[in-house]
Homo-oligomer: A and B are copies of this chain.
Amino acid sequence: MIDHPGFVLWFTGLSGAGKTTISVALEPKLRARGVRVERLDGDTVRQSLTKDLGFSKEDRDKNIERVMFVAKLLSRNNVAVLSAFISPYAATRDFVRTETTNFVEVFVDAPLMVCAERDVKGMYAKAFAGEIANFTGVSDPYEAPQNPDIHLKTHEMNLDECVDHVLNWLEERAFIPATVTEG
C-alpha cells in the first residue's frame, strides 16, 4: 500500500443523476493506483447501518449522520471514501465537510426531467403519480450545491469523462498518485 491522505468524495444529486454509477466506476481506478477505498451508498450501508430508516427528513438526516461517522473515521485514517447519497440539504453537507478529512463535494448534476426519463428504478413514475411521498425533486426539495468542488453534468459528459475529470482533480491536488502501481 502506498502512503496517501484520506479524503471523502461526497457525491450529491438527484436520484438517477449518476452518483452510484460514477462511484462504482471510480473504485477500481483508485485501487489500481494503490489507494485504499471504501464505497458508501444505500446498497452498502442499508443492511448493517441504516436498515431501520425510511425517507422522511428526520430519517434522511439520521442516515447521513451515521454515514458521516463512518466517513470521518475512515478519512482520518488515510482511506478514500466514495459516498453516494442524494443528501439534498446544503446545511447537512456543510456539516459533513466540517467533520471529515479532505471533504470534496461532487455535484452530480442532471436536469430533473433527464433523471425522470432515465428512471432506473421506476421511482419517478410513482413519484409523479403521487404514490411516493418525500421524493426529492418532486415532492421534496433538492438544494443544489452553490459552489461544488467538482461539478459533473451527466447529461453533457459521458461516464468516462466524468471519471477522468475526478481522477485529474484528485491528481492535481496530490490526493492520489499519478501512476498505476503494481499489484
- Seen from chain A, the residues whose Cβ lies within 8 Å of a Cβ on chain B are 1, 3, 36, 38, 45, 48-49, 52, 62, 65-66, 68-70, 73-74, 77-79
Contacts and interface: CB of A to CB of B under 8 A. Distances in A.
Nearest to A6: B77
Given A1-B3, A3-B1, A48 B66 contact: yes
22 contacts: A1-B3, A1-B78, A36-B77, A36-B78, A38-B73, A38-B77, A45-B69, A48-B65, A48-B66, A48-B68, A49-B66, A49-B69, A52-B62, A70-B70, A70-B73, A73-B74, A73-B79, A74-B74, A74-B77, A77-B77, A77-B78, A77-B79
B70 A69 contact: yes
A171 B74 CA distance: 24
Nearest to A80: B77
A33 B136 CA distance: 48
A49 B53 CA distance: 13
A62 B52 CA distance: 10
**Most B CB atoms within 10 A — which of A3, A48, A49?**
A48
